[in-house]
Amino acid sequence: MSTSFTATEFFQQVQNGTALLLDVNPAHAYSKAHPAGSYNVPFHRQGWGEEVKRALNGQSPPLGVFADNAVIAEAAKASLTAAGLTVPFTFERGVKGWEQEGLPLERVKDLTVDELAQNLDNYVVVDVREPYELRSGIVPGAINIPMGQLQGRLNELDKSKPHAIICASGNRSASAASWLSQQGLEVANVVGGMSLWMGGRHPVDRV
């Protein structure tokens, strides 16, 4: 573990809103279990740190990296550091190690595109893609709230109704679903996103 904080100390900062914990594991692993309050930003080699920096939109909080092995954790930290971001905490022992530290986990319900299609009337579908991405189509009846606007538009969502969160491939929606769950909403992440929805020939509205 490469860190200037213990896991408990850094988690306290996350809870206080003064630091961010990035779960860099794939979306399917994140959905199964992840540290409470973490955001899923699956690691890839080329330009990943710069992508995270753009997503932070000028903010520069201390960042923690959560992974299930040391190689990925250190590569993610190096990419973030190269982008000029501060990474005082990495954790490479995955979910099992997090549990051993006595720290809380969260789980997000997965929803397949076929399950969503069969139960469309039972969900408020929230598409967290950017407006330019909607040109390919949107789930009928879905509302578009880009991921970066969720916090400011949370009052548009009805906590009494279940929500299905969708993006292009399921990565951003996993993070968005986790955050919305922390705000008290009943949510499910649509696995595979619009890519699988359209691949399954489910209906779309054009915008």
| Backbone torsions φ then ψ of 138, nearest 5 degrees | -140, 150
Tokens of 136: 């390919």
One DSSP character per residue, 74-104 reads HHHHHHHHHTT----EEE-SHHHHHHHTT--
| Cα–Cα distance measured from residue 57 to residue 137, given in angstroms and rounded to the nearest whole number | 27
Number of alpha carbons in the 13 Å side-chain half-sphere of residue 20:
19
Q: Which residues pair with 35 in a beta bridge?
A: 105
One DSSP character per residue, 159-188 reads TTS-EEEE-SSSHHHHHHHHHHHHTT--EE
Q: For 3, which DSSP code?
A: B
User: What's the Rg (C-alpha) of the chain?
Assistant: 17
Which residues are annotated as catalytic? 167
Burial status of residue 180 (CB atoms within 10 A of its CB: 0-12, 13-18, 19 or more): buried
